[in-house]
């Protein structure tokens, strides 16, 4: 049995306050990145074909209608199977640009020239040993009609998905050979399977992890105590409660026995530093620069998959399963106004730097122009004026 793992879908979020200026900003940051404007698309103000080193990479959609600072790059599916090295260089180039980027949606496919994973899954189901996460259900779907054609003995697809209204991560098993032949006609995937050593004379079966949106990456919202000296530092409520109890015990021992506790001062200083209680969102921190490394994809697959099928290891055995999990990061819960203000401040400096080089003027003069532009538009709706057009009057 041979297996291979790859990305099948990837959408990246880019956060930039002036959506009309984003293509120009990317080009100035890296002249290997270029864009060609298309007609407007649903939910976004503008749409482009984005290219890297002359090769079309995907779509760049700018100015999301609910949050104009949100922009997205949707990478073409075929490139995951034909141009991985190019995509890897492109993502690394994006990472080097001074702009916030994270994963919006990703699908990771484990392909195998055997249906062993689906058999293990159904075996666990029949023996009532399959352990699914809360609110997750198993569903078998047989498509007798595909593209309006009746398919005799159509293969079944197994879905493991949430039965709640919100879209959450899911898993599915499917006969990929049949899906390509009967529906998608993506024969470049078959070529990729052959190149990766899979026996394409047999049916290829896919076990796929689907992470549909950025909310699927979130773990929880918990109260943390934030440092008065550095807002990026925090401790959990539990840890602070432990420190309070520890300090009380130290003071009690010192008072009764006149014993000096050397760690009491350090504990007191820590408690005095972490005083501000704030809700903090915790989420998995996916490193986009490692998305084309098989080992890292295995970590993503097993981490998310184990949160859906709790005894996933019984299905995967030793094929890709890893005990290493993704790192998590804390994201402070901010109001929309605070988030917009922070974005404006961060990017004013970057925009001024680009302008000073482009127009051969001092940084201070460029910063004055950028500040004048930002102050001249509505406070939290700064996507209505093109900065380039504004500068033509200067």
pTM: 0.75
* Residue 253, beta-bridge partner list: none
Q: Tokens representing 229?
A: 């000296």
For every one of its 394 residues, what pLDDT tens digit does the chain have, with 9 covering 90 and above?
A: 899 999 999 999 999 878 888 998 899 889 999 999 988 778 888 999 999 999 999 999 998 887 888 899 999 999 999 999 999 999 999 999 988 899 999 999 999 999 999 999 999 999 999 999 999 999 988 776 666 677 777 788 999 999 988 889 999 999 999 999 888 899 999 999 999 999 999 999 999 999 999 888 887 767 778 888 877 778 878 888 888 888 888 777 776 665 566 778 888 888 888 887 777 778 888 999 999 999 999 999 999 999 999 999 999 877 677 777 888 877 755 444 455 555 555 566 666 777 777 778 887 777 777 776 655 544 434 433 445 555 555 5
Q: What ranges in the chain are assigned the alpha helix state H? A: 22-29, 79-82, 84-95, 116-126, 176-179, 187-195, 237-257, 264-273, 294-308, 313-316, 336-358, 363-375, 387-392
Separation between Cα atoms, residue 21 and residue 180, nearest integer Å: 40
Domain map (residue ranges) of the chain: 17-98, 106-212+291-323, 219-281, 337-392
Q: Tokens representing 260?
A: 């000096």
Q: How far apart are the first and last CA of the chain?
A: 67
Q: 3, 321 in Cβ contact below 8 A?
A: no
Host H or E run for residue 53: none
């Amino acid at each position: 049995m041979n297996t291979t793992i790859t990305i099948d879908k990837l959408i990246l979020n880019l956060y930039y306050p002036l959506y009309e200026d984003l293509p120009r900003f990317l080009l100035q940051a890296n002249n290997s990145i270029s864009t060609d404007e298309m007609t407007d698309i649903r939910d976004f103000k503008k749409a482009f074909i984005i290219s890297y080193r002359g090769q079309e990479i995907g779509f760049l959609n700018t100015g999301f209608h609910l949050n104009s600072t949100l922009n997205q790059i949707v990478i073409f599916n075929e490139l995951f199977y034909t141009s991985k090295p190019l995509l890897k260089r492109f993502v690394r180039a994006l990472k080097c640009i001074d702009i916030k980027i994270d994963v919006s949606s990703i699908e990771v496919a484990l392909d195998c020239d055997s249906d062993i994973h689906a058999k293990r899954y159904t075996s666990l189901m029949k023996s009532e040993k399959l352990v699914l996460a809360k609110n997750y259900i198993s569903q078998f779907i047989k498509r007798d009609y595909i593209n309006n054609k009746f398919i005799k003995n159509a293969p079944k697809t197994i879905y493991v998905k949430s039965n709640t209204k919100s879209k959450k991560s899911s898993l599915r098993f499917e006969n990929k050979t049949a899906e390509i032949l009967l529906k998608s006609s993506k024969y470049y995937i078959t070529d990729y399977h052959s190149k990766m050593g899979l026996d394409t004379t047999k049916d290829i079966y896919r076990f796929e992890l689907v992470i549909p949106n950025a909310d699927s990456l979130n773990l929880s919202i918990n109260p943390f105590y934030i440092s008065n000296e550095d807002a990026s530092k925090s401790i959990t409520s539990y840890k602070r409660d432990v420190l309070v109890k520890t300090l009380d015990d130290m003071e009690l021992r010192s008072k009764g026995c006149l014993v000096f506790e050397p760690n009491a001062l350090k504990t007191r200083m820590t408690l005095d530093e972490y005083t501000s209680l704030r809700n903090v969102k915790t989420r998995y921190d996916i490193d986009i620069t490692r998305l084309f490394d098989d080992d890292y994809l295995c970590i993503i697959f097993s981490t998310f998959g184990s949160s859906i099928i709790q005894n996933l290891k019984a299905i995967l055995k030793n094929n890709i399963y890893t005990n290493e999990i993704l790192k998590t990061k804390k994201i402070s819960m901010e109001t929309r106004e605070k988030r917009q203000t922070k974005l404006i401040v961060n990017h004013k400096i970057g925009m001024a730097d680009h302008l000073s080089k482009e127009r051969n003027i001092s940084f201070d003069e460029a910063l004055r122009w950028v500040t004048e532009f930002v102050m001249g538009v509505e406070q939290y709706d700064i996507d209505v004026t093109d900065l380039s057009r504004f500068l033509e009057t200067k």
